[in-house]
Amino acid sequence: MSDRTISTPGPGTLRVRTGLTDVIEGQKAGKPVTTVHADPKITLTGTLGSSAVAALVSSVSFEGEIVDSATGERLVALVDHRLGKKREATPATSWASVRSAIHVGVEKLSTRFTVRLLAAVEPTRR
């Protein structure tokens, strides 16, 4: 089995979509964050640097899905609205903390997919 990245759908190919979103219902609207970093080379390094970015990070949710690229069938999906709440951010919070939160969401999605895959294989072993 190969684990390479490709750009076209086909048999045995999965499409993985992930995102950090701010989709909690009833959340009070805040001031939009229009600029995080002007220089993309410095994105996700150093500290968050502003209260507006910290507020956004503190309310973020993780969403992800794994889809069969050939059929479009959704195999697993995950939404975690608690992600940002677990990591109350301040302007001094590092971007490493944000990356850590993303990794937690990806690990949860991966585990959910592995459990489903093993469940599908297990009946054929009996």
Over residues 56-114, the pLDDT tens digits come to 777 778 889 999 999 999 999 998 877 666 667 888 888 877 777 788 888 999 999 99
Q: Residues 6 or more apart from 25 whose CB is under 8 A from it?
A: none
Residue 24 pLDDT: 44
Name the pTM for this structure: 0.66
Beta partners for 68? 14
Nearest to 75 by CA among 115, 107, 106: 115
Residue 87 pLDDT: 65
Over residues 20-72, the pLDDT tens digits come to 776 444 455 555 554 444 454 545 677 888 887 777 777 778 889 999 999 99
**Cα–Cα distance, 119 to 10 (Å, whole number):** 23
Q: Residues 6 or more apart from 13 whose CB is under 8 A from it?
A: 6, 68, 69, 70
Q: Across the beta sheet with 61-68, what order do the strands follow? A: 14-21, 61-68, 74-80
Written in H, E and C, the secondary structure of the chain is: CCCCCCCCCCCCCEEEEEEEECCCCCCCCCCCCCCCCCCHHHCCCCECCCHHHHHHHHCCEEEEEEEECCCCCEEEEEEECCCCCCCCCCCCCEHHHHHHHHHHHHHHHHHHHHHHHHHHHHHHHC
